[in-house]
Amino acid sequence: MKKLLFFFVSAILATALVSCSDDSEDYDAYDEWQSRNAAWYLQIADSARTAIHQAQEQYGSTWEQYCDWKMLKSLQRSQTFQSGVTEDSICVRVLSRGTGTVSPLFTDSVRVSFRGWLMPTTAADGSVEEITFTQTYYGTFDATTARPQLAAVSSFADGFSTVLQYMVEGDDWMVYIPQQLFYGEEEKDVIPAYSTVRFRIQLAAIYPQGTTIPDWK
């Protein structure tokens, strides 16, 4: 009887392991990626709008001094892009405000540090992961040791270049860019098509077009 019971329990465990293995193999973290990314961005935008509305009611015309959220309109939007929809804006959460007084133009160059992530996903084992697809520094950001990347504002994707044109030197922002203002339906390296992305961006310096760019100290 004990041998029979042992055989029965072993068979159940083996079946469960095979089933879990099959589920793991069939699991797709990017299933319904386009709709999930769209829903995630709309959720973030709703939080941003709520915070902005509350600040406007409380502080009136000076609300931006007291609110950590912004919604920025795209500056390079295609003429065929539908105007007025949520996805023609970028959501920004201000982590730290810079002391600069001007923002870069599309034709300028900048020194900028950044790290970019895909939308959080749930792995087959149930853990939540957020894939980093680009970064100019490793570990925790430290402005005193980071070496910002030198690049033309125009060299970045629409949403990223738009954000730069609203920043001033010293700004440190967490930025949420909808798929329509990033790579859209195009797959690029490890970034799947229709990806809403999150960036942390720190603007270190601005160089107007035609000026000599000094070495970074």
pLDDT of 84: 55
- Residue 46: both structure tokens together: 């709703």
pLDDT of 77: 53
- Domain range for residue 69? 42-207
What is the percent of the chain where pLDDT is above 70? 84
Number of independent structural domains in the chain: 1
At 86, which CATH number?
3.10.50.40
Q: What pLDDT digit, counting tens, does each position of 49-61 carry?
A: 999 999 999 999 9
Q: What pLDDT digit, counting tens, does each position of 165-189 carry?
A: 999 999 999 999 999 999 999 999 9
Report yes or no on 65 lying in a domain: yes
pLDDT at 212 over 80: yes
Q: What pLDDT digit, counting tens, does each position of 13-25 carry?
A: 344 444 444 455 6
pLDDT of 28: 81
pLDDT of 133: 96
Report yes or no on 23 lying in a domain: no
Report yes or no on 60 lying in a domain: yes
Q: What pLDDT digit, counting tens, does each position of 23-57 carry?
A: 556 778 888 999 999 999 999 999 999 999 999 99
Report yes or no on 55 lying in a domain: yes
Q: Which residues pair with 198 in a beta bridge?
A: 117, 176
Q: Which residues pair with 207 in a beta bridge?
A: 109
pLDDT of 18: 44
Concatenated DSSP letters of 60-98: GGGGGGT-SEEEEE-SS--TTSPTTSGGGEEEEEEEE--
Report yes or no on 109 lying in a domain: yes
Report yes or no on 30 lying in a domain: no
Report yes or no on 6 lying in a domain: no
Give the separation between CA 44 and CA 177, rounded to whole angstroms.
10
Report yes or no on 22 lying in a domain: no
Q: What pLDDT digit, counting tens, does each position of 78-92 carry?
A: 444 455 567 889 999
What is the rounded average pLDDT of the residues 73-82? 60
pLDDT of 76: 64
